[in-house]
Copies of this chain bind each other. A is one copy, B any other.
Amino acid sequence: MIRIVVDCFGGDHSPKANVDGSLSSLCRHKDLQLILTGDKSLLEKELDGKSYDTSRLEIVHAPEVVGCDEKPTDVIRLKKESSMIKAVRLLRDNDDVSGMVSTGSTGALVAGALTRLGTIRGVIRPAFCPILPTMTGGVVGICDSGANVEVNSDYLKQFAIMSSLYLENVYGVSKPRVALLNVGVEAEKGDTIRKEAYEKLSGLECINFVGNMESRDLLSGSYDVVVCDGFSGNVLIKATEGTALELLLKVKDTIYSRTAYKIGALFQKRMFRDLKEFMNYQNYGGSVLLGTSKVVVKGHGSSKAVAVEKCIEQAYMMEASALSSKIEEAIEKYDNYEE
């Protein structure tokens, strides 16, 4: 049995999306057990009338909710009865609970995970690794996308090891092509950190390092994961998602501006629906935090049920594939960094 905690509050569509996503996940995996944290009466109301295997769903009462603009350190110190911090503590205190999913405040979740859970042995700093769809029908991971705004080349080396294992084990990518985000593809490009990282990744036997990548090629399908500091990774993913959404909006607005365009669009209804689906991050789950001692998945604040279900699926797959112990082994074998 794989046991996962779902923080049911803090997202835009909480608790409905979190509860519905949880129930779908229970249908999908017969060896999955879920613990929902949040206000018990509200959760019971949400579950009322829905059919599910009650032996695999438990509610742990947590009356407080973490707001998205609360200071992370305050949350940890003062909001012990919140659905998020209760979930973190359940994860920490129970050996048989292997992961958690939250759609709440990213800052509070990272702070909670780092201070309460700690890292996998040997890991310097955990990193986020969200996934985007590529133009060739695959996916690409971005590691780190924001957990560490300041890094050094040792961090980047570990991000490469962890994210490569993640793509291999959770997405079934064989020998993931790992790239380093840089301002040009030539080996000597970038700042000191990038030059050092390039050298370290080139010499790393356990990954398939394919060199530097420019941000414009993220969606090309030529890379399976791109390694970067959390600042530029954050710029990268938000620019990519933001531009795609703005452009689709622009197309939509333009179509409504002329009758001929609208007539044309009647023939393409399914196309625009497919394109929208393609760029819909809800279909690609959340950002997993790689390197914490237990699995933590951060869903987007605006996650609907389908996105929450994907997040639970990611947590489930990470545990089912024993990703954490594979990361621990690889770090021990290929990375002799001493803090």
Spot the interface stretch: A111-119, A215-223, A289-297: A215-223
In the complex, the count of this chain's copies comes to 2
Bound: A246/B263 CA distance, A:
25
Query: With contacts A230-B183, A232-B231, A239-B243 known, is A150 near B191, CB below 8 A?
Result: yes
Query: With contacts A232-B231, A238-B215, A268-B261 known, is A247 near B244, CB below 8 A?
Result: yes
Residues in B neighbouring A21, C-beta threshold 8 A? none
Spot the interface stretch: A167-175, A252-260, A313-321: A252-260
Bound: A121/B60 CA distance, A:
65
Q: Which of A31-69 contact B (CB under 8 A)?
A: 69
**Are B183 and A231 closer than 8 Å at their CB atoms?**
yes
Contact of A214 with B by CB under 8 A: yes
**Are A219 and B231 closer than 8 Å at their CB atoms?**
no
Residues in B neighbouring A186, C-beta threshold 8 A? 69
**Are B242 and A244 closer than 8 Å at their CB atoms?**
no
B interface footprint on A181-211 (CB within 8 Å = 1, 0 otherwise): 1010010001110100000000000000000
Bound: A286/B115 CA distance, A:
48
Residues in B neighbouring A181, C-beta threshold 8 A? 235
Contact of A1 with B by CB under 8 A: no
Residues in B neighbouring A274, C-beta threshold 8 A? 254
Bound: A242/B250 CA distance, A:
17
**How far in angstroms is the closest Cβ of chain B from A256?**
11
Total interface residues on A, using CB and 8 Å? 55
**Are B235 and A215 closer than 8 Å at their CB atoms?**
yes
**Are A190 and B243 closer than 8 Å at their CB atoms?**
no
**How far in angstroms is the closest Cβ of chain B from A276?**
12
Residues in B neighbouring A275, C-beta threshold 8 A? 250-251, 254
Bound: A183/B274 CA distance, A:
30
**Are A149 and B247 closer than 8 Å at their CB atoms?**
no
Across the two chains, which residue of chain B brings its CB closest to A214?
B238
B149, B216, B250, B254: which contacts A239 (Cβ < 8 A)? Answer: B216
Bound: A230/B274 CA distance, A:
36
Contact of A236 with B by CB under 8 A: yes
B192, B218, B231: which contacts A150 (Cβ < 8 A)? Answer: B192
B135, B232, B239: which contacts A240 (Cβ < 8 A)? Answer: B239
**A to B CB contacts below 8 Å, 21 in the list:** A149-B183, A149-B194, A191-B231, A215-B242, A216-B238, A216-B242, A217-B242, A218-B243, A219-B242, A220-B246, A232-B235, A235-B235, A239-B239, A240-B243, A250-B275, A250-B278, A251-B251, A260-B267, A261-B267, A264-B265, A264-B268
Contacts from A to B (Cβ < 8 Å): 69, 135, 146, 149-150, 181, 183, 186, 190-192, 194, 214-220, 230-232, 234-236, 238-251, 254-255, 258, 260-261, 263-268, 271, 274-275, 278-279
